[in-house]
Structure 1
Amino acid sequence: MECMSLQPKGLPEIPAQTVAVARAAFPRGTLAMRLRDRLAEVLVDE
């Protein structure tokens, strides 16, 4: 029997230009942007 396990992975990096465009378009952020910002703090692999 072969065992499978999940390998921990962090959130992928968002390109700086994409971040700049998104922040310019939505200065207060969107729900998705705010969730990712908050979850990135929690989902850090150590």
Structure 2
Amino acid sequence: MQLWHVGRVSHPVFQPGGAAPVEPTAMDVPGKTFIIDADGNGA
């Protein structure tokens, strides 16, 4: 079972070398992704 797959919406911090995730299309993604660091700041 696949519980979660963010695909092209994945945050670059989870990609090799901090690169942008690979997308099947150049369409814009609605919204924004971010992660919270140890200090509680969004990145």
TM-score (norm: length of structure 2): 0.25
More helix by share: 1
Greater RCO (Cα-Cα under 8 Å, separation 6 or more): 1
